[in-house]
Every structure is written in structure tokens, then in C-alpha cells.
Structure 1
Amino acid sequence: MDLDLLKTPGPTITALTAPFWAAAEEGRLSIQRCEECDAAIFYPRPICPHCWSERLVWKDASGRGHLKSFSIVHKPGHPGWMPIAPYAVGLVELEEGPTMLSFILRENQEDLAIGNAVEMFPTRIGGRILPVFRQKQYSERA
């Protein structure tokens, strides 16, 4: 199935989240970093949750991490996702530290496992590029 043909709702883009979505459209994963305490931050916020500084800048992340948890969705919350159900969503702990919720691509309904290495794979879904993740190839894991 071509994921771009899905009729799914798009993200709500605000002034705060616009840099994240602009980077995603370019195939990059960009997260905030605090210039005061050097913490990597995700989800976008106006102040650092670690030191309360307002000195946050956008930096490209590696796009690598590991699967912290996941769920296989059999009954989507929106009818636009029905054509690809069951599908996977998961919590990805980024190499930089923060955890983000993401769609997880699976080739041929491959099994997922907590702790497996994942990498960001920009994917066009419903007319927009989203930073989704897939497990690293078996030969690359270790």
C-alpha cells in the first residue's frame, strides 16, 4: 500500500513546532537543544524542562535510537489509517536522549522487539513527510 494515499489528518503546526515540521519536510529530524545546560529536548517547548532556560535552539538529531515500547494498532482511532491496519506505533528513545512517539515501518509485518536499534526513515504519509522509524537492518544490529 502506498502510504501517501492515506487520508489522514495532518499535524497541527504552530510557531513553536514549525521548525520541527519544516525539517521533516526536508527529510531531517530536528530537535531542540538547550544552550544553557546542553540537554536535548523533545517535544518542542518554550523553555528547557531541565534548567528552565529560554535559550533553546534547533539542531539536527542523528535519527538513530532504540525501540523503548510499541503497540500494534488493529483498530485505528481515525478511519484514514484503516487501509494499513494492523500497523505499529512505538516509543523511540533517541540517541540524543529524548523519547518520541512515532509510526514504525515494518517490512512484511516483521516482528518488533523492545531494545532493537531503529533509524529515522522520512516517509510521505497522507501528503506530508513524517519522521517515522524502522528497525535497522539485521546485518547492522549488534
Structure 2
Amino acid sequence: MHHTSSFVCCVDASWLDSQSRAGIGWILYNPQGRRVLRGFSSVAPVATALEVEALALKEALFHLRRLNYVDVTFCDDSMLLYRHLEKIKKMPHSVPGCLEIQSYLDDITALSLNYFAFKFICRNDNSAADLLAKSARSQNLPFTISWEY
């Protein structure tokens, strides 16, 4: 069964180095392409850019599930993260392939429960989420979810 999602959530992260706080950001769009909701936060330092990308996706997924959204396509510009998610989709019970972010991948898989899809997008198509993540990191912003009007 293949169908088109009604909502799209663009997710991104901002990372400088393993000693500095990172930032995450996501924006939910309705089927007409209008912004519905956004979330962002400065987060504690993590080891790699891939780790904060996985954290950003997990947080967006968690909060949209908590708000009872289903059938959302999550878009991210991290090709490496997308490849790991595709590998899990093709072989769900295989041996872990990325120990660095395996706990995030496990959480993402558990949270998605086939209600959500993941899609790689180019960096240019993810500029709004990128800006949110960079602002959250550089301004050390607290966790925030807000409706867009």
C-alpha cells in the first residue's frame, strides 16, 4: 500500500563540534504547503553532526506523534541518515549497522510504526528548518514548539 502523505515535516540540525551546543529545528507543512507548526531547541553537545541530525528527527517524530499527527513525510538533508533509515526499512531485523547512532535509529523506528515516511531532500529545499536549527544553536534557545498562523 503506497499513498501520499498529507503533511510534510522538514527537519534539520546545526553542529559545530563535539564541545559546543548544537541546534535542532523542524517545520510541519499542511497539504497546501502552509506552515502549521514549528519546533526548535539548543541541545547539549554531541559527538558528530550525524548524531544531532538523528536527534532532530527523533524529536520531531516524537512531538508530532504526541500531537496525534499521522501519515507525515519527514524530510532531511542528511544523506547518511537517510541511507541508514532506508537500510532499516529494507531489512528491519538485520544486525545494527551504525553503532554511533543506533539508539536514535531504534527510537525512530519504534516511533514511526509505519505511520511515517522519510525522504532525503537537498540542502536548498531545507533552508527554513536549517535557519531554525542555526538560530537555536547560536542563540542557545530553549525547547519551543509553536503554531504558525
Higher helix share: 2
TM-score, with structure 2 as normaliser? 0.23
Q: Which has the larger radius of gyration?
A: 1
Higher relative contact order (CA 8 A, sep 6+): 2
Which has the larger share of strand? 1
